[in-house]
A = this chain, B = another copy of it.
Amino acid sequence: MNLDPIKEALLASYQQHGGINHLDGVNLPAQDSVQRLASDYMHLMFPGFFEATALTKKDVPAHVDALLSGLQQRLMAEVEKSLRFSQDADPAGHARTLTADALGQLPALRQVIQTDVTAAYRGDPAARSVEEIILAYPCVLSISVQRFAHVLYRLGVPLLPRMLTEYGHERTGTDIHPGATIGTHFFIDHGTGVVIGETARIGDHVKLYQGVTLGAKSFETDPTGDPIKGIKRHPDIGDHVTLYAHATILGGDTRIGANSVIGSNVWIMKSIPPDSVAYFKGDQLVVRPRRAKTSSPVLGDEYANWDI
């Protein structure tokens, strides 16, 4: 069959519809490289977990050396591409500085990530060991990668942070924007369908189940109809809050107070005071104080006693 007319039509279409091609010689970060970046980063955060063969303490320094050098090279290359794309005046120089800055934050990141693993172990009766969590819980990947992407996001790197979190989204079904600010001891169980928006702020010791949305109510547009970027649109979640499966919290002014428990399938567009329990009971959203604490410190105790 003669493919020439199709080829000519496609080439003409590339000319006409500039919006979806990219042919001016400025290379973009490649999805494969971003996956490799994320993988190297995970190996560095969890030494001994993802290697094909056993890693002994003696091997670790050389192992870290190799991983860190590789990560530096790859990160610098992708950051430079991202900066060149956004017409940075000195992409190579800035890529070097930003990469050094980001890598310098890895040891602190690792401490926070350890709190996430601890939270998962203490938050799920099905977890038999910390090792099982690292090897088989999707939140370890989605949260750890978001924390690294958030570092790059705060440093002002374009494109790359979102590509990193989308890699996490693809593998886990959990979509956390790199802009979201997340405290320590964060646990997401199951994770499929979770969406956390760019301007969400999440406190410490927060626990989420599958399908939870921290989203926007709506957004404003400029006179040309394009959405105005950068406005606070997503909720704040206080410390020690638990959000059960498919809870939907919307709006930039919405704040879930500390120690509150939000029931499954609840849909909330207003703030909830601290120490509350919120659930739908027929024709109204019920928000009431949590009962006196029992001896068990686990959030969600009372949930067991709800009537429907």
Contact = CB atoms under 8 A, between A and B. Distances in A.
A49 B28 contact: yes
B72 A1 contact: yes
A169 interface: yes
Nearest to A226: B122
A206 to B, nearest CB: 17
A283 B283 CA distance: 5
B218 A135 contact: no
A143 to B, nearest CB: 12
Interface string A18-59: 011111111111111100000000001111111111111100
Interface string A63-92: 011001100100000000000011000000
18 contacts: A7-B68, A11-B60, A13-B110, A14-B60, A17-B111, A19-B117, A20-B45, A22-B49, A24-B57, A26-B54, A31-B50, A125-B229, A132-B159, A190-B195, A193-B210, A218-B300, A227-B298, A245-B248
B135 A29 contact: yes
Interface of A: 1, 3, 5-7, 9-14, 17, 19-33, 44-57, 60-61, 64-65, 68-69, 72, 85-86, 96, 99-100, 103-104, 106-107, 110-111, 113-114, 117-118, 121-132, 134-138, 158-159, 162-163, 165-166, 169-173, 175, 177, 179, 190, 192-195, 197-198, 209-211, 213, 215-221, 225-231, 233, 245-246, 248, 250-251, 264-265, 267-270, 281-285, 296-298, 300-304, 306, 308
Contacts of A28: 48-49, 131, 135
A9 B218 contact: no
Contacts of A162: 132, 135-136
Nearest to A2: B100
Given A44-B10, A270-B308, A308-B268, A227 B25 contact: no
A215 B230 CA distance: 35
A234 B297 CA distance: 21
A125 B228 contact: yes
Nearest to A211: B193
A195 B197 contact: no
